[in-house]
């Protein structure tokens, strides 16, 4: 297939007419498809249905006899802490089991730091004239929304395929004490699907930061979400930070939202024992105890880390065909045409698609007119502004396979139409 911008004008005009005709047929078909939602599909949720009955009126006690129906156990049941310490690659003293959403833990952590500082005598960030957070982009819109909501400035940093651009980051943090932290999704990053290399992890841990209270917000939402084989090995960020003499630097998050039930799972916070003490002191004022029944459900359902991994293979069997469909339709329609590139993730929930510069909004708008909802252009960048207006996040897990195929075809056709119109202008 020849690159569109190298095609003779008449050929390009003819191709444009064909694509327009296809687009008109899509519009007439009255589709109503949605690729915006990074949600598990019903078949994925069904995998965890035994959890709905695994705790009953006859079995609601933890292994030490704790009555899980009652108050107490501020930072989690011991067996839940053991299971999720293994999941996070830390010691049980370095983990706290939260409620149903890791986003809540992240927001709480930011609120605490804003109001009270990081707990080592540094001032609360809200008292500083300027606080900035590094935001590898494209990234997770909800991370950026937390910063925007709290008046924290965001500094985008490019992704490289092995994590964010470390040369740029090291330069920035070394000379600017207003840069207080960085958001990271280290495995199957949202949306690029990349895995941070060990070198990236080590450099984040070792780098010299002007800010004494610099924090890495390490959101490991997709640590075990591989489509085939064992989950990737990655240098543990807490270990790396301890080795580098910065044990308090990472605050690690995860949840089972995309393992068991979204909004009905367990969220986990991990970090140095000192950081966990700091959080526990404040948790005391926030709650008299978490939902231990849900913790018990998870522990009984999985047993151990190997149980989580086995369960994830069942998820993979459901989601992998959807990702294969995205790849096969994008390559069929767009390969070699020089107008788009996209990621081929080995796990996670998203494909990151780049069209030509200055076209993403138009493509998303055209697809919408044909009944295909795509994540708004710009959503993957701080403040919703993609400086090149080219990135579109594809979330193929929730829709039925044939709907994923149809929606991606519409995306590909719209991308070509918009690209050709730009060339012909």
Cβ atoms of residues 268 and 253 within 8 Å: yes
Token pair, residue 264, equals: 């009905």
Judged by CB under 6 A, the residue of 35, 51, 103, 413 near ligand PLP is 103
Q: Please tell me what DSSP assigns to residue 372.
A: E
| Interaction of residue 101 with ligand PLP, rule CB under 6 A | yes
Check residue 267 for interaction with ligand PLP (CB under 6 A). yes
Residue 221 within binding range of ligand PLP, rule CB under 6 A: yes
Nearest CB to ligand PLP, comparing residues 108 and 165:
108
Length of the chain: 425
What is the per-residue binding string for ligand PLP in 45-84, x denoting contact by CB under 6 A?
----------------------------------------
**Interface with ligand PLP (CB under 6 A), residue from 36, 44, 48, 102:** 102
Tell which one of 79, 94, 213, 219 touches ligand PLP (CB under 6 A).
219
The terminus-to-terminus CA distance of the chain in angstroms comes to 22
The answer to whether the CB of 223 falls within 8 A of the CB of 87 is yes
Q: Can you read off the two tokens belonging to residue 340?
A: 């788009």
User: Does the protein bind ligand PLP through residue 269 (CB under 6 A)?
Assistant: no
Buried b (16+ CB within 10 A) or exposed e, 146-164: bbeebebbbbbbebbeebb
Q: How many residues bind ligand PLP (CB under 6 A)?
A: 13
**DSSP element (H, E) containing 136:** strand 132-137
Residues 25-44 that bind ligand PLP (CB under 6 A): 38
Burial 95-129 (b: 16+ CB within 10 A, else e): bbbbbbbbbebbbbbbebbbebbbbeebeebeebe
Q: Residue number with the shortest CB distance to ligand PLP?
A: 255
- Scanning 65-73, 98-106, 125-133, 144-152 for contacts with ligand PLP by CB under 6 A, the matching segment is 98-106
The mark string for 228-257 relative to ligand PLP (x by CB under 6 A, - otherwise) is ---------------------------x-x
User: Which stretches of the chain bind ligand PLP, using CB under 6 A?
Assistant: 38, 101-103, 140, 185, 190, 219, 221, 255, 257, 262, 267
């Amino acid at each position: 297939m020849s690159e569109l911008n190298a095609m003779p004008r008449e050929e390009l005009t003819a191709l444009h007419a064909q694509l327009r005709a296809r687009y008109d047929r899509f519009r007439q078909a009255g589709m109503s498809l949605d690729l915006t939602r990074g949600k598990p599909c019903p078949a994925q949720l069904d995998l965890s249905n035994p959890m709905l009955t695994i705790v009953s009126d006859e079995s609601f006690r933890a292994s030490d006899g704790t009555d899980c129906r009652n108050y107490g156990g501020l930072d989690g049941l011991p067996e839940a802490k053991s299971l999720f310490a293994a999941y996070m690659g830390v010691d049980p003293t370095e983990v706290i089991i939260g409620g149903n959403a890791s986003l809540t833990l992240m927001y709480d952590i930011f609120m605490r730091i804003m109001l009270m500082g990081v707990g080592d005598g540094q001032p609360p960030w809200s008292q500083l004239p300027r606080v900035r957070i590094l935001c590898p982009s494209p990234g997770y819109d909800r991370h950026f929304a937390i910063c925007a909501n709290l008046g924290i400035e965001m500094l985008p940093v490019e992704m490289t395929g092995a994590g964010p651009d470390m040369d740029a980051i090291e330069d920035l943090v070394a000379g600017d004490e207003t840069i207080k932290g960085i958001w990271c999704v280290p495995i199957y990053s949202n949306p690029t699907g990349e895995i941070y290399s060990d070198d990236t992890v080590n450099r984040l841990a070792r780098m010299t930061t002007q800010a004494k209270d610099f924090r890495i917000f390490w959101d490991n939402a997709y640590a075990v979400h591989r489509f085939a084989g064992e989950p990737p090995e990655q240098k543990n960020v807490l270990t790396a930070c301890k080795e580098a003499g910065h044990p308090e630097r990472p605050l690690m998050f995860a949840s089972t939202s995309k393992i068991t039930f979204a909004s009905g799972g367990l969220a986990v916070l991990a970090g140095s024992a000192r950081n966990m003490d700091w959080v526990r002191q404040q948790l005391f004022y926030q709650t008299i105890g978490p939902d231990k029944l849900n913790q018990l459900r998870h522990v009984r359902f999985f047993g151990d880390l190997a149980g989580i991994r086995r369960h994830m293979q069942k998820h993979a069997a459901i989601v992998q065909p959807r990702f294969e469909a995205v790849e096969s339709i994008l390559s069929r329609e767009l390969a070699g045409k020089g107008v788009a590139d996209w990621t081929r993730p080995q796990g996670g929930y998203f494909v990151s698609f780049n069209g030509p510069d200055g076209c993403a909004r138009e493509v998303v708008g055209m697809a919408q007119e044909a009944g295909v909802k795509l994540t708004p252009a710009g959503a993957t960048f701080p403040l919703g502004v993609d400086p090149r207006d080219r990135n579109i996040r594809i979330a193929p897990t929730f829709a039925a396979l044939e709907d994923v195929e149809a929606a991606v075809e519409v995306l590909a056709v719209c991308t070509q139409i918009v690209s050709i119109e730009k060339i012909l202008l």
